[in-house]
Amino acid sequence: MATSIKKLSNTFVWILMGLLIVGLAGFGAVNFSSSMSAIALVGEEEVTVDEYLREMQREQRALQAQGGQSLTFAQMAAFGLDQAVLSRLISIASIDNEVKSLGISVGDDNLRQELAEIPAFQDASGKFDRQAYKFALQNVNLTESDFEADLRRESARTLVQGAIVVGAKMPNTMTKTMTDYIGARRSFSYVPFSPDQIALIQVVPDDAELMAFYDANTAQFTLPETKRITYAHLSPDMILDTVEVSEEALRALYAERSDQYQVAERRLVERLVFADEASATAAKAQLDAAETTFEALVEARGLSLQDIDLGDVTQPALGAAGEAVFAAAVHDVTG
């Protein structure tokens, strides 16, 4: 009884395999290894039999990794996995067709970087290994050119998918610029002429006419005298970090320019002048006794501090009062 069931199962598997081959033959494929006919066409993108075979094998390996048991193509077809794979390939082809129509592509530098980041193509140190790359492609029956073309398409496809997912919009400036360019129109009028309607007469001037024209328009044929100059520009900032100056040189330069660094001592002075010494002495006595302030004395004279301000002065400029003023503390009043 068990033998009969096993034979029936094998017969059912072969029937499914036959149906699968007949179905592929309808698309122009005789077998997976010898035909490159397309089994689907989306715009200008084809889903080839080889692509279908590789995707089925990839699905087969994934199922084996999950369940620990390898399924035949016939068993996969019985579960409808062949249609799921074909549907996925058609979806990818539709995106690839849109990518091609948009003119999106990935440059060689980006492709090289993506190859180097694939763990299967790296050595023990994490660097790209050419031999590992070649061996891995041989195991899945892929050439380097085919794999790199697929990777390039996948990268470009990812860009479009990302833009669709996030809802990327074209910048307003770019939208307006492209719209203006595409929608630009020009109107013009023209009058056709035939060769027999136009008399083309070539006039060749002689040397005298040419010389006369040159003399009358010398400025159009003369350029001012010019010189080609090559120079090197050096600024202190450019060599500041590379020059070392000794302390002796600094001291000598300081002594040479001492007049620039040494200036006479100065004071900010306000001077209130009295008509006679007695008035000045009385005012000074009031200040010493704290009976008034210097500002009050100024106001009593009908003046302001600005009127009596001498500014920033040196000791010689004050004459005989210079010694007493420079000996006083800040805000002190001296007579």
| Span 150-196, pLDDT tens digits | 888 888 888 777 777 777 788 889 889 989 999 999 898 998 888 77
What's the gap between Cα 235 and its chain centre? Answer: 31
Q: Is residue 332 one of the residues assigned to a domain?
A: no
In 3-state terms, the chain is what percent helix, strand and coil (to 5)? 60, 5, 35
pLDDT at 212: 94
Residue with tokens 């084996």: 64
Burial class (CB in 10 A: 0-12, 13-18, 19+), 122: middle
pLDDT at 80: 85
| Span 290-305, pLDDT tens digits | 888 888 888 888 888 8
pLDDT at 151: 84
Burial class (CB in 10 A: 0-12, 13-18, 19+), 191: exposed
**Which amino acid makes up residue 213?**
F
DSSP state, residue 70: P
Distance CA 274, CA 164 (A): 93
Nearest to 115 by CA among 136, 93, 92, 100: 136
CB within 8 Å of 328: residues ≥ 6 apart: 334
| Span 98-130, pLDDT tens digits | 888 877 777 888 888 888 888 888 888 888 888
pLDDT-derived band at 229, boundaries 50, 70, 90: very high
pLDDT at 115: 83
> Do 128 and 13 share a structural domain?
yes
Q: What are phi and psi of 170, to 5 degrees?
A: -70, 135
pLDDT-derived band at 200, boundaries 50, 70, 90: low
What is the overall mean pLDDT for the chain? Answer: 80
> Do 266 and 159 share a structural domain?
no
Its pTM surpasses 0.95: no
3-state secondary structure of 267: strand
Whether 237 has a pLDDT exceeding 90, the answer reads no
Which domain CATH number covers 60? 1.10.4030.10
Lowest mean pLDDT, pick from 28-37, 96-105, 111-120, 318-327 = 28-37
Six-digit token pair at 125? 């140190």
Sign of CA dihedral 212, 218, 220, 222: positive
**Which amino acid makes up residue 159?**
L
Q: From residue 120, how far is each of 46, 68, 147, 275 by CA, in Å?
A: 28, 22, 14, 106
Six-digit token pair at 119? 């763990």
Q: Is residue 101 one of the residues assigned to a domain?
A: yes
Distance CA 137, CA 120 (A): 10
Nearest to 262 by CA among 250, 274, 254: 254
Per-residue pLDDT averaged across 52-59, rounded?
84
| Total structural domains within the chain | 2
Q: What percent of the chain has pLDDT over 70?
A: 88
> Do 267 and 126 share a structural domain?
no
What's the gap between Cα 117 and its chain centre? Answer: 23
Per-residue pLDDT averaged across 276-286, rounded?
86
Domain boundary among 115, 133, 166: 166
Q: Is residue 221 one of the residues assigned to a domain?
A: no
| Structural domain of 274 | 261-327
